[in-house]
Amino acid sequence: MSQNVALSLGAALLAALVLACGSDRPDATDSQYAHLLTFDTARVRLTTARVTTTVVAELAETPEQHTMGLMERRTLAPDAGMLFLYASAQPDSSAFWMYRTRIPLDIAFIDSTGVIRTIQTMTPCPTALAAACPEYPAGARYVAALEVNAGFFARHGLRIGDRVLLQDTLTRPGTTRPPTPHTP
């Protein structure tokens, strides 16, 4: 391919990307980034003393998925979310941010036994500079963090001390993670 043809194709692709990023259609951004990373999903149960609530959660398990998270999404179904899973406990000083995240979210930080240790509401960061976005430290050690639409936990009566059944993520079809070892 000649250099002129390659430059023309590159310019056309860049123009298409710029036009797609500027779309006001509510679903344009979601589908536009769908090819970048794929996420497994699982139905995850959250339990209080009286009620069980189910969330269809996309599972962020790799560092790349952790970084992408819900960036550039313009909508999230009322009973949907993203569950960030970690192989080891994360320190209480670890933080999430809302860089390029367009919807307000609640986040619950969950310990290794599935107990919700902290809940925070995070607002979209309107700046184009990542360093200008506030951080939301966990405030407790955690092995998972669940992001849902802002207000979800309050609407469902979920609070600190309630549980997220993390074993739901291990029994999904097609899982690539090995089952948790059983010790007698």
Point out which residues pair with 110 in neighbouring strands. 116, 144
| First-last CA distance in the chain | 63
| Band of pLDDT at residue 67, cut at 50, 70 and 90 | very high
What's the maximum distance between 2 C-alpha atoms anywhere in the chain?
Answer: 68
In the chain, where the domains are located: 1-27, 33-169
Ordered DSSP codes for 70-124: TTT-----TTEEEEEEEEEEEPTT-EEE-TT--S-EEEEEE-TTSBEEEEEEE--
Architecture of the domain spanning 33-169: Sandwich (2.60)
pLDDT in tens, 40-52: 999 999 999 999 9
pLDDT in tens, 82-103: 999 999 999 999 999 999 999 9
Dihedral over alpha carbons 110, 92, 143, 105 (to 10 degrees): 50
Nearest to 81 by CA among 37, 151, 147, 170: 147
Average pLDDT over residues 1-29: 36
Nearest to 149 by CA among 87, 58, 82: 82
Percent of the chain topping pLDDT 90: 66
| Band of pLDDT at residue 8, cut at 50, 70 and 90 | very low
Choose between 127 and 149: higher pLDDT.
149
Nearest to 40 by CA among 86, 83, 90: 83
pLDDT at 19 over 80: no
| Band of pLDDT at residue 136, cut at 50, 70 and 90 | very high
Choose between 1 and 94: higher pLDDT.
94
- Give the per-residue pLDDT at 144: 98
Distance CA(50)–CA(65), nearest Å, equals 33
Nearest to 106 by CA among 95, 96, 119, 116: 119
Residue with tokens 């497994």: 40
